[in-house]
Amino acid sequence: MRPLHVLALLLVSIIFAGCSSQSEVIRVGEPTVEDTDNEQEVVIKGHEITNEITDESNIEEVKKVVDQIDSIERPDRTLSEPPETFFELYESDNSVSVFQYYLWMQPDGGAILMDSSENFFEADEENTATLKEALE
């Protein structure tokens, strides 16, 4: 009877080890835009994920930057060009996106970000550099 208990415990351990996964990942992708006749504004259709970042220090850096960005009014000048990148914090255990942003780099080294609710934010040069490094 004892070997049967050991075997059952071993099987349960293997199953749990196989099911465990990184809970949070940063998914990075390329924005897709719709062709329109309106040259004043780009219409974002979605994105294509090209990379997943699982490094915990990079994930924490992205979360810190997102906590520090400032809300701004809708910047018309930015929307005439497609965003450079898309990124999201994704909880793979729950299949939930915690946040999603499209990012436009600015000439001054900062960035404009738009979330999934089309709210706009501004990151300063330092936070933008941190974000770029963490998303690579």
Residue 110 lies in a domain: yes
Residue 89 lies in a domain: yes
pTM over 0.85: no
Q: Are 88 and 27 in contact (CB under 8 A)?
A: yes
Residue 5 lies in a domain: no
Rounded to whole angstroms, the Cα distance separating 35 from 116 reads 20
The CB density around residue 59, as the number of other CB atoms within 10 Å, is: 18
The number of domains in the chain is 1
Residue 128 lies in a domain: yes
Residue 82 lies in a domain: yes
Residue-wise pLDDT tens digits, 15-29: 444 443 469 999 999
State the residue range of the domain holding 50: 22-135
Which helix (DSSP H) or strand (DSSP E) does residue 62 occupy? helix 56-68
CATH of the domain at 106: 2.60.40.4400
The CB density around residue 15, as the number of other CB atoms within 10 Å, is: 10
Residue 60 lies in a domain: yes
Residue 13 lies in a domain: no
Residue 6 lies in a domain: no
Residue-wise pLDDT tens digits, 62-107: 999 999 999 999 987 667 789 999 999 999 899 999 999 999 999 9
Residue-wise pLDDT tens digits, 42-53: 788 889 999 999
